[in-house]
Amino acid sequence: MATKTTETKSAPKKAAAPKAKSADAKPNALQQPLKPSAELGAIVGTSPLPRGEVVSKVWEYIKKHNLQNPENKREILADDKLKKIFGKDKCSMFEMNKHLAAHLKS
């Protein structure tokens, strides 16, 4: 006895069309150029930068000057320039962004 099979054909799914960005679209909070303070400018430069680039440049500075605690890489040992930003000798990588935010203005 032959069995009847049913095939279901579904319509091919269309990819969602990307939203067109208009020329006057506002950048989101991470893309917004921010002006660093004089203390932070000594590390990242004085021109306005997006927050993500500021964090990247601070990490470049930390790694270049070997400022991570060798026993605990999540801890940053501040030199004279970073002490002005952090306000203390040590800072965890998680609280670093809080201190950086205090030195950035829109």
Mean pLDDT of 3-10: 62
CA distance 63 to 37: 21
Q: Say which residues have a Cβ less than 8 Å from residue 26's Cβ, sequence separation at least 6.
A: none
pLDDT recorded at residue 40: 92
pLDDT tens-digit readout, 10-58: 666 666 655 555 556 666 766 888 899 999 999 999 999 999 999 999 9
For the chain, the domain total comes to 1
pLDDT recorded at residue 28: 74
- 83 pLDDT higher than 60: yes
Residue 1 lies in a domain: no
Percent of the chain beyond pLDDT 70?
73
Is residue 43 packed enough to be buried (19+ CB in 10 Å), middle (13-18) or exposed (0-12)? buried
90-92 and 75-77: which strand pairing? antiparallel
Kind and range of the H or E run holding 53: helix 51-64
- 1 pLDDT higher than 90: no
Name the residue with higher pLDDT: 67 or 31: 67
Residue range(s) defining the domain that contains residue 48: 33-105
Question: What pTM was estimated for this model as a whole?
Answer: 0.70
Residue 65 lies in a domain: yes
CA distance 34 to 1: 76
pLDDT recorded at residue 32: 87
> 34 vs 12, 54, 103, CA distance in Å?
45, 9, 9
CB distance 86 to 78 below 8 Å: yes
Residue 64 lies in a domain: yes
Mean pLDDT of 55-79: 93
Report the CATH number that the domain containing residue 97 is assigned in CATH. Answer: 1.10.245.10
